A and B are shown apart, each in its own frame.
Chain A
């Protein structure tokens, strides 16, 4: 093998394609390989040639390719192909798997077969090894199984796949750490929290005092007919209730106050953080889902901090204090009273564990019901046009039935356990009545104490039950906390490099030098991109969808960083610049113009907060938008609804053009709308765009021939590479992709009527 080639291969080979081999395989390889033969790649495959799950070992040296198997501690070579015979390699994608083949003069030899789990490693091996082959591979196409879902991220600790929504592993979620993190939010409110805590304790105490006073009432007032003492005791009772009421009010308010403040802090932190996250984060998850989940989770946390936590504390204290009181009064009876406790606690816990999955199913059926509604109602136009109302009703009924079934299941569990609790507590009270009465009748205990016991008992079993549920409540709250913290834990997008540069004057010369990029390793989206755009040039980007045009412009705005090569603005690498500064130099007009909920003038002035009305109108005029705006009921103060619904497509386009004009950037990214507008509007938009691109370095992902004709340079992209580059006329003269696309377009436009 050529020395230079081998060096290149060795440079590319890394730990990803070097699995550890078992000793038996190593031994066999040592026996097999020549002294100067070097091993390049060794990977474990998980499917046997027969299509069963089993281990095989794929090894590529500089002399051969081999597949080894082990049996009874011995390894043998199952398949072997010397490099000299290999014409080219072929990576095949299937549903649920793939394989790597070596093609010789006579045949194709299958080497490793693997599941999708191992596919990335083999894809990488393939990309490295094909440099060793002489022939260019034929196009692969994809076929069934070619288009893969994005692979799951895996937990760094336990290796399990992370749920679609989360970057935190639910198995490894550290409850204690989460609790501590949650509690840390109370930090700024320490003093008030402690006050609230003390008030809670007092409240519990005061709630229990009446029971004791009842004992006093019976033993020292009623029985001995102590009339004088009666009034004193009654006023005592009254006093306690009054104080307790006051404390209750203050405590409740304090807890709510803390809850509201903590949640406010959390919310602000989350929303701030969300802004800073990279584009990648939002493309991975559905933004709507994020927002609703985070809002819900924060609300749940608020409830937990304000009330749930409080309830838990109150219950703990109540139980403790009661225990003390009972034992002080009559130890033996107290012990008996406590007998049913373990049973109550246990059964509550068991019940919780059983009902949790059922509740979850109810929730899921509910969600699927909502999903059907979410489809049918916004899509009501389609439902009615296709006369499918009956079908939708049936679907809904089906889902409702499923929901019903689950709710009944939950009801069954509920109905079974609740009486059980009642019975257990009843049993407990029977013990107290029985034994206690005996004690009183025998004179070993006063009536007052017995009555106190009875009163306290009822105040006792309830908190114990609540505490049995405590675990689940905390679990729920922690799940919400986890989701909120997950958002906060996601690292923000690429930070500014040190010494962030801000150019004093931006001319707008853009250069892409040897740029390569892929979203996922092993699947290059852009390769070898090289071009220069001089200031003021209009560059047309053309190519089939998926060719990489949008990715290219994303790299310019630094939504992602290049894997190889450089993106330069006025000769400076964009990574050396302040991110904020860079993006301010780039104006964007998108395909689907997004207008915020606000007035027209707010939307136009979005990039320039201090714009005065004259500037806004000037921008609107330049975008041919002014005329229709003043015709709106409230002119520039008209509120355009969410996503600017009230405006037509052409009007929204022009507002977004005005927005870009006002920002006056040196560089412009124009993603042309493919939606058809009438010719007149088309003309207006065209004019507006013309004014917009004057003197700005423009990257137009173009669909209109008119734009392309004016472009000084057209870059034709295909499969992530630059296929052709030149002016419109130059490319037309050639006979490549571009001229073919143009002829197609010309044919299409002949059919359009208006």
Chain B
């Protein structure tokens, strides 16, 4: 920290909003390389900077997708790199990142609903997902969120997540069962 001048409280370098924005560092995909070592540790290297080892990727807007930004966190949960437009990465890096993100966000997509047994909001769902058959309990109607009218996000009683990408794309029976829950 800089030493304060004698009778002046230390003032931040330039507190204007523009300066603040300017200081925000979002890295473009062309400057970034991502790979994974044999210890399953993710490495991120920004051109011209030190390589970061053992980082965890996290989407900044995982649900709304308002911006395609991926944050990379170190083992102290502090961000080290903020990457935009990960689709622009070189094929290797992109594949590695997508695999790792796929692992970090395990959210099976529901493709068919066999049955939903409901009692005052607590419900037992029996579904088919893109990862296989599953039965789970939803505690509360609060745990079923509808976005944009056709996308449904669920959280079960244990914290597992599920998604219905497009309600209208499901068969009538499944749709009806789900509609009763929202």
Whether the pair A94, B103 counts as a contact (CB closer than 8 A) is yes
Whether the pair A97, B106 counts as a contact (CB closer than 8 A) is yes
Interface residues of A in 148-188 (CB under 8 A from B): 148-149, 151-152, 154, 160-165, 169-171
Interface residues of B in 123-163 (CB under 8 A from A): 124, 129, 131-134, 136-142, 155-161
Q: A170 CA to B4 CA in the complex, in Å?
A: 64
Whether the pair A140, B75 counts as a contact (CB closer than 8 A) is yes
Whether the pair B140, A164 counts as a contact (CB closer than 8 A) is yes
Chain A residues with CB under 8 A of B119: 170-171
Our pick among A141, A169, A171, A364 for the contact of B73 (Cβ within 8 Å) is A141
> A52-B131, A751-B10 given as contacts; is B73 within 8 A of A143 (CB)?
yes
- Which segment, of A103-111, A271-279, A325-333, faces chain B? A103-111
Interface residues of A in 105-157 (CB under 8 A from B): 106-108, 110, 115-117, 119, 138-146, 148-149, 151-152, 154
Q: Does B41 sit at the interface, judged by CB under 8 A?
A: yes
Q: A96 CA to B129 CA in the complex, in Å?
A: 14
Whether the pair B157, A152 counts as a contact (CB closer than 8 A) is yes
Q: A435 CA to B161 CA in the complex, in Å?
A: 65
Chain A residues with CB under 8 A of B124: 160
Q: Mark A470-511, 1 if CB is under 8 A from B, else 0.
A: 000000000100000000000000000000000000000000
Q: Does B49 sit at the interface, judged by CB under 8 A?
A: no
Our pick among A94, A117, A163, A364 for the contact of B158 (Cβ within 8 Å) is A117
Our pick among A96, A142, A144 for the contact of B160 (Cβ within 8 Å) is A96
Interface centre among B59, B76, B106, B160 (most CB of A within 10 A): B106
Q: Does A607 sit at the interface, judged by CB under 8 A?
A: no
Whether the pair A151, B158 counts as a contact (CB closer than 8 A) is yes
Q: Mark A43-77, 1 if CB is under 8 A from B, else 0.
A: 00001000111100000000000000000000000
CB distance from B81 to the nearest CB of A (A): 14
Q: A490 CA to B58 CA in the complex, in Å?
A: 40
Q: Does A2 sit at the interface, judged by CB under 8 A?
A: no
Whether the pair A747, B75 counts as a contact (CB closer than 8 A) is no
Chain A residues with CB under 8 A of B122: 160-163, 169-171
The residue of chain A having its C-beta at the shortest distance from the C-beta of B36 within the complex is A108
Whether the pair A750, B9 counts as a contact (CB closer than 8 A) is yes
Whether the pair B103, A51 counts as a contact (CB closer than 8 A) is yes
Whether the pair B104, A141 counts as a contact (CB closer than 8 A) is no
The residue of chain A having its C-beta at the shortest distance from the C-beta of B72 within the complex is A143
Q: A171 CA to B124 CA in the complex, in Å?
A: 10
The residue of chain B having its C-beta at the shortest distance from the C-beta of A145 within the complex is B104
Chain A residues with CB under 8 A of B159: 96, 116, 119, 148-149, 151
Whether the pair B73, A161 counts as a contact (CB closer than 8 A) is no
Whether the pair B160, A116 counts as a contact (CB closer than 8 A) is yes
Q: Does A357 sit at the interface, judged by CB under 8 A?
A: yes
The residue of chain A having its C-beta at the shortest distance from the C-beta of B128 within the complex is A53
Chain B residues with CB under 8 A of A47: 106, 131
Q: Does A101 sit at the interface, judged by CB under 8 A?
A: yes
Our pick among B56, B120, B156 for the contact of A141 (Cβ within 8 Å) is B56
Q: Does B102 sit at the interface, judged by CB under 8 A?
A: yes
The residue of chain B having its C-beta at the shortest distance from the C-beta of A743 within the complex is B1
Q: Does A705 sit at the interface, judged by CB under 8 A?
A: no
Our pick among B120, B161, B180 for the contact of A96 (Cβ within 8 Å) is B161
| Interface size range on B against A | 35 or more
Whether the pair B105, A364 counts as a contact (CB closer than 8 A) is no
Whether the pair B9, A53 counts as a contact (CB closer than 8 A) is no
Whether the pair A116, B158 counts as a contact (CB closer than 8 A) is yes
Chain A residues with CB under 8 A of B23: none
> A94-B105, A141-B76, A161-B139 given as contacts; is B131 within 8 A of A53 (CB)?
yes
CB distance from A76 to the nearest CB of B (A): 20
Q: A94 CA to B62 CA in the complex, in Å?
A: 14
Our pick among A94, A141, A750 for the contact of B75 (Cβ within 8 Å) is A141
The residue of chain B having its C-beta at the shortest distance from the C-beta of A148 within the complex is B159
Chain A residues with CB under 8 A of B17: none
Chain B residues with CB under 8 A of A143: 56, 58, 73, 77, 104
> A94-B106, A95-B105, A141-B74 given as contacts; is B139 within 8 A of A152 (CB)?
yes
> A115-B158, A117-B160, A357-B180 given as contacts; is B38 within 8 A of A144 (CB)?
no
Interface centre among A54, A101, A110, A116 (most CB of B within 10 A): A116
CB distance from A85 to the nearest CB of B (A): 13
Chain A residues with CB under 8 A of B58: 143-144
Chain B residues with CB under 8 A of A145: 104-105
Q: A101 CA to B54 CA in the complex, in Å?
A: 14
The residue of chain B having its C-beta at the shortest distance from the C-beta of A117 within the complex is B158
Chain A residues with CB under 8 A of B1: 747
Q: Mark B40-70, 1 if CB is under 8 A from A, else 0.
A: 1100000000000000101100100000000
Q: Does B172 sit at the interface, judged by CB under 8 A?
A: no
Whether the pair B139, A162 counts as a contact (CB closer than 8 A) is yes
Chain B residues with CB under 8 A of A165: 140
CB distance from A443 to the nearest CB of B (A): 59
The residue of chain B having its C-beta at the shortest distance from the C-beta of A152 within the complex is B157
Whether the pair B56, A144 counts as a contact (CB closer than 8 A) is yes
Chain A residues with CB under 8 A of B170: none
Q: A92 CA to B163 CA in the complex, in Å?
A: 22
The residue of chain A having its C-beta at the shortest distance from the C-beta of B77 within the complex is A141
Q: Does B86 sit at the interface, judged by CB under 8 A?
A: no
The residue of chain B having its C-beta at the shortest distance from the C-beta of A116 within the complex is B159
Interface centre among A95, A97, A101, A106 (most CB of B within 10 A): A95
Whether the pair B41, A108 counts as a contact (CB closer than 8 A) is yes
Chain A residues with CB under 8 A of B120: 163, 170, 479
> A141-B75, A152-B137 given as contacts; is B38 within 8 A of A95 (CB)?
no
Our pick among A94, A108, A163 for the contact of B140 (Cβ within 8 Å) is A163
CB distance from A81 to the nearest CB of B (A): 13
Chain B residues with CB under 8 A of A171: 117, 119, 122
Which 10 interchain pairs have the tightest Cβ spacing? A161-B157, A53-B132, A152-B157, A107-B38, A161-B137, A96-B106, A170-B119, A143-B56, A163-B122, A108-B40
30 A-B contacts, Cβ less than 8 Å apart? Answer: A51-B106, A51-B131, A53-B108, A53-B133, A54-B132, A94-B104, A94-B106, A95-B107, A96-B161, A97-B106, A107-B38, A108-B39, A110-B40, A117-B158, A139-B75, A141-B56, A141-B73, A143-B77, A144-B58, A144-B62, A146-B77, A154-B157, A161-B157, A161-B158, A162-B122, A163-B121, A163-B139, A163-B140, A164-B139, A170-B122
| Additional A-B contacts beyond A119-B158, A143-B58, A479-B120 (20; CB < 8 A) | A47-B131, A51-B102, A52-B132, A53-B133, A95-B106, A96-B105, A107-B38, A107-B39, A115-B160, A117-B136, A117-B160, A141-B56, A141-B73, A141-B76, A144-B105, A145-B105, A165-B140, A171-B117, A171-B122, A364-B141
